[in-house]
Structure 1
Amino acid sequence: MSSSPALAELPQIERRTLADTAYDALSDLLASGRLAPGDRLSLRQTAAALGVSVMPVREAVSRLASDGALEVAPNRALRVPVLGAGAFRELAETRMAVEGLAAERAAERRSHADLVAIRRAEAAFRSLAASPQPDGAKAVALNRDLHFAIYAACGLEPLREIIARLWLKAGPVLNLDLRAHPERLQQGFAVRRHAEAVAAIEARDGAAASAAIAADIGDAAEFILSRGGLRERLAT
């Protein structure tokens, strides 16, 4: 039996949109640091939280698993991967190179509107870091907001897409770090690196912007790897 020509005119928009929405929501949880390495989720609970069926969540999870951002057990349980120390070092080095390039291009190409957004994001992070008891989870999210405000100004969408995938893996580790060691915020290393990056972008100094962002990533990675408590959660 041949299908009706009218059926060929029906685009599968809603299912694709629901899967994309689920993917975006889960990606935001990972990149903003609201999940930590080893955290577990279930397809049904995630679908219920999003108000959708399991099917679009399963599709979103499949995409995230292919990115290495989630692991799917045989029983369909989901887990945020626990990175080995070597894999974490490689991730940090890759981020330094790729995000450094994005910061360099942002300094060269940023508009006034870009600069306003970057300054606003930097001020929000700095304000939180200066509070007596900074919220580590919120700090991870604000840190992400600042970095992506910078990368939004680079003008290279493929580069931004690569960075977004890297943050799917980086966000959970940053969450774990700041939950275990909130004092790192008060030491001011990130605040100083951020200030250096913003000043370089204001001055359109691409090399300095790249160096500041790379140093920010490198400082955090060295701190994380130096803390024995984190080694209990980062596989060796």
Structure 2
Amino acid sequence: MNHAITTLPQLQRRTLAEAAYAHLRELLVSGRVAPGEKLSLRDLSEALGVSVMPVREAVSRLIADHALEVAPNRAVRVPLLTRAQFQELAVTRGGIEGWAASLAATRRSAAQLNRIDAAEQAMRAARPDPDLGVAVALNRDFHFAIYAAAGLPTLLEVIGGLWLKAGPVINLDLRHSNDRLSAGHALRCHAAALRAIRAGDADAARDAIAEDIASAAEFIIEKGGLPEG
């Protein structure tokens, strides 16, 4: 069984299908499963401590979200993105997430600014010798602290859907290589975004987040590993 699956937490008393859906979303967004990797409903149900039925329902929702797909042999797998598809996704993310950052610059509360500041400091503090799994979580925490400050729940939901599709590529790369962290570009973009949000500069906040997304995508594409298309 995949180690990432075996470490999933046992479900608490919530609607089982909803809880399974939330945990599987986290598995994808955090890059703990790779593009093209097959997911066994039986393994997932055993890891989560539930029957196959709620897992099947959760997987069906993720297929409808285009976060999972059914392969020709009927196996459920994480979609394989081509280079062109990944570039398109990065451009879309840059526009939407950049807009969310611009809104955060003018709408954030003092408490929200403190959360963004704390998330930026935590990722910077982890840089000298980062645990790459922790780095993935810190990167996500920083971005979503900003997006939550935009004050639009529907926008936050849209961004979550984009991360579902991008997470297996972006975060798997970050999880398995220190190159992108050691280059320091993400940290510079994060610092620029924090300064802009603190100053209420919507344009600069948008540009910093868009540049962060674009530079990460360029780094991954240049490394290879994505099929042509």
Common topology (TM > 0.5) = yes
**Structure 2 match to 1:188:** 184
Specify the SS of the correspondent of 1:30. helix
Specify the SS of the correspondent of 2:47. helix
- From 23, 26, 29, the equivalent of 1:28 is 26
Structure 1 position 129, deviation (Å): 2.0
Aligned equivalents of 1:224, 1:80: Cα separation in 2: 18
The residue identity in structure 2 corresponding to 1:98 is I
Structure 1 position 39, deviation (Å): 2.1
Q: Which runs of 5+ in 2 are unaligned?
A: 1-12
Aligned equivalents of 2:162, 2:127: Cα separation in 1: 24
Runs of 4+ in 1 over 4 A off after TM superposition: none
Determine whether 1:172 maps to 2:165.
no
Q: How many pairs are equivalent?
A: 218
The residue identity in structure 2 corresponding to 1:117 is R
The residue identity in structure 1 corresponding to 2:148 is A
The residue identity in structure 1 corresponding to 2:44 is T
Contact kept, 8 Å, 1:35 with 1:175, in 2: the verdict is no
Specify the SS of the correspondent of 1:21. helix
Structure 2 CA distance for partners of 1:128 and 1:67, relative to 1, 3 Å: same
Structure 2 CA distance for partners of 1:104 and 1:147, relative to 1, 3 Å: same
1:147-192 deviations in whole A, cap 9, x for unaligned? Answer: 0011010011111110000000111111332245322201100000
Contact kept, 8 Å, 1:140 with 1:175, in 2: the verdict is yes
Aligned equivalents of 1:235, 1:149: Cα separation in 2: 34
Aligned equivalents of 1:179, 1:98: Cα separation in 2: 24
**Structure 2 match to 1:205:** 201
**Structure 2 match to 1:89:** 87
Contact kept, 8 Å, 2:87 with 2:217, in 1: the verdict is yes
Contact kept, 8 Å, 1:140 with 1:171, in 2: the verdict is no
1:122-167 deviations in whole A, cap 9, x for unaligned? Answer: 1111122222xx2323222211111001101001111111000000
The residue identity in structure 1 corresponding to 2:102 is E
- From 149, 152, 156, the equivalent of 1:156 is 152
Q: Which runs of 5+ in 1 are unaligned?
A: 1-14
**Structure 2 match to 1:62:** 60
Specify the SS of the correspondent of 1:129. coil
**Structure 2 match to 1:18:** 16
Structure 2 CA distance for partners of 1:18 and 1:74, relative to 1, 3 Å: farther
**Structure 1 match to 2:4:** none
Specify the SS of the correspondent of 2:211. helix
Contact kept, 8 Å, 1:104 with 1:209, in 2: the verdict is yes
**Structure 1 match to 2:104:** 106
Contact kept, 8 Å, 1:36 with 1:175, in 2: the verdict is no
Structure 1 position 90, deviation (Å): 0.5
**Structure 1 match to 2:126:** 128
Aligned equivalents of 1:138, 1:36: Cα separation in 2: 17
Task: State the Cα RMSD in Å.
Answer: 1.9
